[in-house]
Amino acid sequence: TTPLLKDAFDLTNEYKDQLGDKWDYSYEDIIALSNFLGRGGTREFLGNVIRDGKSLEEVYPTKFGEGARQEWLILNQIKTATL
């Protein structure tokens, strides 16, 4: 098992029940998020953005605020697809 796959298993076990109907993520989705955001960043995304309803700007102010870097656009697309 790779570290990213282990993260996907662990994060799925941790958040799937917490998110209930909001959980619509495959292991591959979680691997992609973990690769992109790191394990901690993925936990922030799942817990703060998806579960608690905070905005991406609140959770990641340097990534989604003014002057945010272009590569973070993909995470916004993931968030929009899950709402």
pLDDT tens digit string along 17-65?
A: 999 999 999 999 999 999 888 999 999 999 999 999 998 888 887 776 6
Residues 69-74: contacts with CB under 8 Å, at least 24 apart? 74/36
15: helix, strand or coil: helix
Residue from 29, 31, 41, 35 nearest 77 by CA: 29
Digit-coded pLDDT (tens) for 10-26: 999 999 999 999 999 99
- Tokens 């662990």, residue? 10
CA distance 30 to 35: 8
